[in-house]
Structure 1
Amino acid sequence: MSHVTAAVLVLDCAEPEELCEFYRVLLDGKIQSQEGGGRIELVGAGGTRMAFRRDLNAVPASWPRPDDSQQAHLDLLVAAEDLDEVERQIVGLGARPLETRGKGRTESRLYADPAGHPFSLRSTEEFVKPKAS
């Protein structure tokens, strides 16, 4: 039996207040706690938990890395018919498109948030339809 109750994705950044606001709008979230300006925690309407920690030396991730190593990133799930609308919202909030080619039912679009962390929009259809064995 696990005693772990939740997982929180923590992003280091120079301006946690600004980055928290970006994700608060996208996730229709509420700020849960703020620890003296050094860390802000957010809970999205769907239960997603994130935190933003001040690190004045934080540098944006390189995506994709030349050595093709795996990096952590956030997948935001969106209904396929809403991908274009959410993309406009994301860019309007300050995200930078990295790769936005459509790929049909399993479409995924990659962006960098205002602090440079990679994240993707993914069609929810690939998560609700059973995969063939």
Structure 2
Amino acid sequence: MALVTTGVVVLDCAEPEKLAAFYKELLEAEEVGANANRVEIRAADGFRLALRRDVNVTAPSWPRPENSLQAHLEFVVEDLDAVERLIVSLGGRPTETGDPARPTDVRSYADPAGHSFTVRRGIPTAPKQG
């Protein structure tokens, strides 16, 4: 019997209810648990994401060059343009760096609380460069 039965990605934010609404709509997910300080959602494919209240949180500063991107969410999509329209309509924003060497099948965004995420066509096979 496995000791660990599931994993959950947890993002700290000031307003977990609002950020959960963003990700529920983006991922077509359902809320599976909530209390005063945390909201957890699950997408149809089983991906679990929790948003945890932290009243002292500061938004990540990526893509500033002096800060490394420590972690980010990545979503596989079919239609980059349609997903971008949805993200922006939900309050997300593009964080493109203008790098001409960057693949055109990957786009970077920040959610309404500033967490980084990317959407891409297909699964990456090469290691990150730079």
- TM-score strictly above 0.5: yes
SS of the aligned residue for 2:118 comes to: strand
Cα RMSD over matched residues?
2.0
- Give the number of equivalent residue pairs: 123
Q: How far, CA to CA, are the matches of 1:44 and 1:11 in structure 2?
A: 16
Identity of aligned residues (%): 50
The equivalent residue for 2:30 is 30
Write out per-residue CA displacement over residues 86-128 of structure 1, whole angstroms, 9 at most, x where no aligned residue.
Answer: 0000001000110176724xx110000000000001112x45x
Q: How far, CA to CA, are the matches of 1:70 and 1:114 in structure 2?
A: 17
Q: Structure 2 length normalisation: TM-score?
A: 0.85
Kindly provide the amino acid, as one letter, of the partner of residue 29 in structure 1. A
Is 1:27–1:46's contact at 8 Å kept on the other side of the alignment?
A: no
State which drifts further: 41-50 or 61-70.
61-70
Q: How far, CA to CA, are the matches of 2:97 and 2:23 in structure 1?
A: 19
Q: How far, CA to CA, are the matches of 1:69 and 1:117 in structure 2?
A: 13
Write out per-residue CA displacement over residues 14-45 of structure 1, whole angstroms, 9 at most, x where no aligned residue.
Answer: 0000000000001111100112x201110011
SS of the aligned residue for 1:5 comes to: coil
Instruction: In structure 2, list runs of 5 or more residues that go unmatched.
Output: none
SS of the aligned residue for 1:99 comes to: coil
Q: Structure 1 length normalisation: TM-score?
A: 0.83
SS of the aligned residue for 1:84 comes to: helix
Q: How far, CA to CA, are the matches of 1:68 and 1:38 in structure 2?
A: 28
Write out per-residue CA displacement over residues 56-106 of structure 1, whole angstroms, 9 at most, x where no aligned residue.
Answer: 111110112433524111001101xx11000000001000110176724xx
The equivalent residue for 1:72 is 71
